[in-house]
């Protein structure tokens, strides 16, 4: 389905939902949205920089809607903030979303729903230990930095890679080596070589920056192990989407516009990333990262059920969706995702 058709469907859905619920009921005039540090959150950064939620909310008749942006990283931190009522919409690693969807499914106050995929890009496991060539070479003396223990994107991808290397019964074999650090902090620790951190499982731009540093080698590329799979998603509390159907659709339309902008204007997208993230990088390097064929920004989930299958086998989730779109807003039944 073409992007224009999907956007039209979203707008039609919003109008229908509004008619059912009654136009007299006012929707929220402020929406709180979070994104993390890296390039995987670029569509949200474009939305933030270009005020796209405000633009589409006004088009849908919601008037002057304000957005409040929060910087959060790590699935457990994001999930806690969402459940505490401090967020309305969040970008997060797909495993963290699957974990919360499973845990909260059927609980009205806590139930969450996906608003779409966010990004796909390889994560690299980099090391400063010359003796580590594969996952089998890590010893208890090594420490692997990830943004959140057990539930973050990096944590679950590491478990999935360990399951393929050591067997599903040993999926948590490397968990005792993991240390929770934000990606910027972990990169600084790894490159310095002066801390306990000997490895870092990270995403662009940090993965690229580390690879350029002396003495840093790559142990693992997540795409080589898991394929071209959705890495990050956008989600919200289901109660928020039920109470704010038009505002939800405004956000989704904003994301479609942001994705189209990134695909059409790599230079402009790189400028926005540097402006919003405040990272000190040459713009040309960011443009090169965006040119990587493994990096893609689309709202259609790709192979997200691979997380569900793994986490079900590992026993880290109990409730599982029958099909991928059970975890997303109804309009995604029209998409050819997986």
Same domain, yes or no: 204 and 256:
no
Domain span at 214: 124-226
Same domain, yes or no: 270 and 130:
no
| Least confident among 55-59, 100-104, 151-155, 156-160 | 151-155
Instruction: Give the tens place of pLDDT for each residue, 112-123.
Output: 999 999 999 999
Residue 113 near residue 329, CB atoms below 8 Å? yes
Same domain, yes or no: 305 and 237:
yes
How many domains is the chain built from? 2
Any idea what the CATH number is for the domain that residue 60 is in? Answer: 3.40.190.10
User: What pTM was estimated for this model as a whole?
Assistant: 0.88
Question: What is the pLDDT, as a whole number, of residue 108?
Answer: 92
Any idea what the CATH number is for the domain that residue 203 is in? Answer: 3.40.190
Which of 63, 67, 201, 230 is closest to 127 using CA atoms?
A: 201
Same domain, yes or no: 240 and 171:
no
Instruction: Give the tens place of pLDDT for each residue, 57-96.
Output: 999 999 999 999 999 876 778 989 999 999 999 999 999 9
For the segment 176-202, the average pLDDT, to the nearest whole number, is 96
Same domain, yes or no: 269 and 323:
yes
Same domain, yes or no: 140 and 221:
yes
Same domain, yes or no: 240 and 212:
no
Is the pLDDT assigned to residue 1 strictly greater than 90? no
Domain stop point among 192, 210, 226: 226
Question: What is the pLDDT, as a whole number, of residue 100?
Answer: 94
Question: What is the pLDDT, as a whole number, of residue 2?
Answer: 42
Instruction: Give the tens place of pLDDT for each residue, 273-302.
Output: 999 999 999 999 999 999 999 999 999 999
Reported as a pLDDT band with limits 50, 70 and 90, residue 17 is: very low
Domain stop point among 226, 241, 257: 226
Has residue 337 been placed in a domain? no
Has residue 3 been placed in a domain? no
Instruction: Give the tens place of pLDDT for each residue, 32-54.
Output: 999 998 999 999 999 999 999 99
């Amino acid at each position: 389905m073409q992007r224009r058709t999907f956007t039209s469907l979203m707008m039609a859905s919003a109008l229908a939902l509004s008619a059912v619920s009654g136009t007299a009921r006012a929707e929220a005039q402020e929406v709180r949205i979070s994104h993390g540090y890296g390039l995987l959150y670029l569509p949200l950064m474009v939305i933030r920089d270009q005020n796209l939620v405000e633009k589409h909310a006004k088009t849908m008749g919601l008037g002057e809607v304000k957005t409040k942006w929060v910087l959060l990283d790590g699935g457990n931190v994001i999930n806690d903030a969402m459940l505490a009522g401090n967020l309305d919409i969040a970008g997060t690693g797909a495993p963290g979303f699957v974990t919360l969807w499973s845990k909260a499914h059927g609980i009205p106050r806590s139930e969450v729903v996906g608003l779409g995929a966010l990004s796909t890009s390889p994560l690299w496991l980099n090391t400063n230990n010359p003796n580590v060539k594969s996952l089998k070479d890590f010893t208890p003396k090594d420490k692997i930095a990830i943004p959140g223990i057990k539930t973050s994107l990096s944590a679950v991808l590491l478990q999935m890679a360990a399951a393929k290397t050591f067997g599903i019964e040993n999926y948590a074999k490397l968990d005792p080596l993991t240390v929770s650090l934000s990606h910027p902090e972990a990169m600084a620790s790894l490159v310095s070589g002066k801390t306990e951190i000997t490895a870092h499982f990270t995403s662009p731009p940090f993965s690229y920056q580390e690879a350029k540093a002396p003495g840093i080698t790559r142990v693992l590329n997540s795409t080589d192990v898991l394929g071209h799979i959705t890495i990050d998603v956008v989600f919200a509390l289901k109660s928020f989407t039920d109470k704010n159907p038009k505002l939800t659709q405004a956000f989704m339309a904003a994301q479609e516009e942001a994705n189209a902008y990134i695909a059409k204007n790599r230079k402009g997208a790189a400028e926005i990333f540097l402006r919003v993230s405040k990272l000190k990088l040459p713009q040309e390097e960011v443009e090169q990262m965006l040119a990587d064929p493994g990096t893609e920004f689309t709202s259609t989930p790709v192979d997200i059920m691979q997380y569900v299958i793994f986490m079900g086998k590992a026993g880290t989730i109990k409730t599982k969706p029958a099909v991928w779109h059970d975890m997303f807003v109804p309009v995604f039944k029209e998409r050819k995702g997986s």
